[in-house]
Amino acid sequence: MHFDYWLDNFWSLSVGGLTQGAIYALVALGYTLVYGVLRLINFAHSEVFMTGTFAVIIAWDMLGYDLNAQRPGTGVVIALLVAGLVAASLTSAGTALLVERVAYRPLRRKNPPSLVFLITAIGASVVLFEAVGLLTDRKLKGAITLVQPKEVFSLFGASVDNVQIMIVVAAVVMMFGLEQFINRTRLGRGVRAVAQNPDAAALMGVNRDRVIMLIFMIGGLMAGGAALLHIVKVGSAQYDVGFLLGVKAFAAAVLGGIGNLRGALIGGLLLGLAENWGAGIFGTIWMNVVPFAVLVLILMFRPTGLLGESMGRARA
């Protein structure tokens, strides 16, 4: 127990936690969307994120900026970030759609108990990360440091650098965009309708299969964004990166109230904070225990999460 360490470094731990939490939040969105509509945990979503991280690095490699390349000027950096985002989003969304097509759709027709979906999702997850593991020889793949962390301002003595600001701002902007999409557009209304009552929505002419594909795709796009931010922050990708991060993001989704978009953001940020504070108090080796402990505590005391489970405002 190092409470004095935690107090001394409170602000820097908090800033670090919020940054990591923003990434959790983006991944948590994937869980929340699928759970909100289908009422099942998309266990393979962590691998959707993982393929995104590799896509970013491979895209940069192909554009000639591999691990050993010189750091380019600002304009090129922005272009590369956009290219990475596009590559990661497309790859992640593609993976998510593939998982939906292979592991979920054939089963959905048979209407089995929800545990069956969970098991196929675990299968899909194992297949994806083992396949990537075999392709990459289970090695860490490094990326070029495009954005050098540089202190922008200091918050009560804790330095806040440009990478951290970029991650949090990007995550919040993506969340805001998604919420507008779900609440304001025609497609979003379809998603909410299916989440609220699938049968009634189908009778009203909403194509359920298309909505399901849409949410898997959006979840993949968000995971792709998270993958880019993760690469900018951590600088490397590995085949098993998704496993722990996925469980943590799921814990974040449950913390905020699974099925609730704003809940994913709040849950992600809080979980990031809790994790970093826990690491400060108990030591970094116990960092990965914190999300699980949080998960058990929420399920014991408030199983519906902080904001309650609902997709958008529609659910009364």
Partner 1 sequence: MIDKLLKADGRRLGFLAKMGDRWRAIPKGWRFAAGLAFVLLLVVLPRVQIPIIDPIIRTTKIDFTTVLFTVAMYIVVAVGLNVVIGLAGLLDLGYIGFFAVGAYSVALFGSPQSPLATKYPWLICVPIAIAVTMISGVLLGWPTLRVRGDYLAIVTLGFGEIVRLVAQNSAFTNGQRGIGNIPYPPGTWPEGGGGFLDPAWGTLPIFGSATSLGWYWLALACVILCMYASRRLEHSRVGRAWVAIREDEDAAEIMGVQAFKFKLWAFAIGAALGGLAGALFAGKQAFMGSNSFDLLTSILFVAMVVVGGAGNLAGVTLGAILVWYLPERLRGIELFGVELNTGEYRLLAFGLALIIVMTFRPKGLLPKRYRSSQPPVVAEEATA
Interface residues with partner 1 (CB under 8 A)? 40-41, 102-103, 106-107, 110, 112, 114-116, 118-120, 122-127, 130-131, 134, 243-244, 247, 250-251, 254, 285-286, 288-289, 291-293, 295-296, 299-300, 303
Asked whether 84 and 59 are in contact (CB, 8 A), the reply is yes
The distance of closest approach from Cβ of residue 182 to partner 1 in the complex, given in angstroms and rounded to an integer, is 23
The distance of closest approach from Cβ of residue 120 to partner 1 in the complex, given in angstroms and rounded to an integer, is 5
The distance of closest approach from Cβ of residue 163 to partner 1 in the complex, given in angstroms and rounded to an integer, is 28
Token pair for 170 = 């990007």
Nearer of residues 39 and 315 to partner 1, judged by Cβ? 39
Nearer of residues 176 and 286 to partner 1, judged by Cβ? 286
182: Cα within 13 Å, side-chain hemisphere = 29
The distance of closest approach from Cβ of residue 36 to partner 1 in the complex, given in angstroms and rounded to an integer, is 14
The distance of closest approach from Cβ of residue 47 to partner 1 in the complex, given in angstroms and rounded to an integer, is 10
Nearer of residues 30 and 225 to partner 1, judged by Cβ? 30
Q: For residue 31, what are the CA distances in angstroms to 77, 79, 96, 265?
A: 31, 30, 11, 12
Nearer of residues 19 and 260 to partner 1, judged by Cβ? 260
**Sign of the alpha-carbon torsion through 214, 180, 19, 28:** negative
Q: How far apart are CA 200 and CA 29, in angstroms?
A: 25
DSSP lists the bridge partners of residue 193 as none
The distance of closest approach from Cβ of residue 264 to partner 1 in the complex, given in angstroms and rounded to an integer, is 16
Rg (CA), the chain: 19
Residue 160 main-chain phi, psi, to 5 deg: -115, 120
Nearer of residues 172 and 281 to partner 1, judged by Cβ? 281
* Residue-level length of the chain: 316
Nearer of residues 1 and 203 to partner 1, judged by Cβ? 1
Nearer of residues 196 and 288 to partner 1, judged by Cβ? 288
The distance of closest approach from Cβ of residue 284 to partner 1 in the complex, given in angstroms and rounded to an integer, is 10
Q: How far apart are CA 48 and CA 232, in angstroms?
A: 18
Nearer of residues 96 and 232 to partner 1, judged by Cβ? 96
Q: How far apart are CA 16 and CA 314, in angstroms?
A: 35
- Which residue do the tokens 């691998």 mark? 47
The distance of closest approach from Cβ of residue 80 to partner 1 in the complex, given in angstroms and rounded to an integer, is 33
- Which residue do the tokens 């009634």 mark? 200
The distance of closest approach from Cβ of residue 76 to partner 1 in the complex, given in angstroms and rounded to an integer, is 38
- Which residue do the tokens 């469980």 mark? 247
Question: Where do the H-state alpha helices sit in 63-157?
Answer: 74-99, 105-108, 114-135
The one-letter code for the residue type at 6 is W
User: What burial class does residue 36 get, using C-beta atoms within 10 Å of its C-beta: 0-12 exposed, 13-18 middle, 19+ buried?
Assistant: buried
Nearer of residues 122 and 306 to partner 1, judged by Cβ? 122
Asked whether 284 and 28 are in contact (CB, 8 A), the reply is no
